[in-house]
């Protein structure tokens, strides 16, 4: 998947994933059917916000002194084309999907899938990343997403039983 991605492009995809996750969890919290799932969604949204900040800081580090605006526009256009053509699908956890869901366990199923996809992406990004700071960031994100997955799995089991 990341054969032709450079570090900056991987960061841009990760940033888009985290922004989408933030909106998803914020929306899920507002629609939650019980206080326990609402609290989890709000915590996950806050975590996604922290991830966005870390990605933004790392992107700034990568772009420092490299014609920031032109490079940022070029990378953003490239990533948008990948997303629109389905080369990289970010639709696994969209807030729009929540409109058709009536049960909390269904929301959690979507979130679990997206967290798993995130782990896979970040694992590959860490392996391909040329910059040591980037490797550390992606490795940290893998652990964060695993914690999210565990928390979601725990509530999912409670809701399904």
CATH number of the CATH domain containing 111 = 1.20.1260.10
- For residue 142, the Cα-to-chain-centroid distance in whole angstroms is 10
Q: Where are the beta strands (DSSP E) in 30-145?
A: none
Report yes or no on 22 lying in a domain. yes
DSSP state of 91: G
Task: Give residue 138's pLDDT band: very low, low, confident or very high (50, 70, 90).
Answer: very high
Stretch 130-135: mean pLDDT, rounded? 88
Mean confidence (pLDDT) of the chain: 82
Residues 6+ apart with CB under 8 A from 40: 151, 152, 155
- Is position 1 within any domain? no
Asked whether residue 48 is domain-assigned, the answer is yes
Range of the domain at 32: 7-160
Cβ-Cβ contacts under 8 Å for 38 (sequence gap 6 or more): 29, 32
Q: What is the pLDDT of residue 85?
A: 44
Assessment of whether the complete model's pTM goes beyond 0.95: no
* 73-90 pLDDT per residue, tens: 554 555 555 545 443 344
Residue 52 belongs to some domain of the structure: yes
User: Cα(30)–Cα(9) distance, rounded to whole angstroms?
Assistant: 32
Chain centre distance of CA 110? 13
Mean pLDDT of 123-136: 90
Tokens of 88: 């990289």
How many domains is the chain built from? 1
């Amino acid at each position: 998947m990341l054969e032709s991605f450079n570090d900056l492009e991987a960061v841009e995809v990760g940033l888009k994933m985290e922004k989408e996750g933030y909106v998803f969890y914020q929306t899920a919290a507002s629609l939650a059917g019980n206080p326990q799932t609402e609290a989890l969604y709000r915590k996950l949204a806050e975590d996604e916000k922290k991830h966005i900040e870390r990605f933004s800081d790392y992107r700034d580090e990568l772009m420092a002194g490299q014609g920031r605006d032109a490079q940022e526009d070029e990378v953003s256009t490239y990533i948008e084309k990948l997303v629109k053509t389905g080369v990289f699908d970010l639709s696994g956890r969209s807030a729009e999907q929540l409109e058709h869901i009536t049960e909390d366990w269904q929301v959690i199923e979507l979130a679990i899938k997206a967290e798993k996809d995130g782990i896979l992406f970040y694992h590959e990004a860490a392996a391909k990343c040329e910059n040591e700071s980037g490797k550390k960031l992606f490795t940290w994100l893998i652990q964060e997403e695993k914690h999210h997955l565990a928390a979601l799995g725990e509530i999912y089991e409670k809701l399904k039983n």
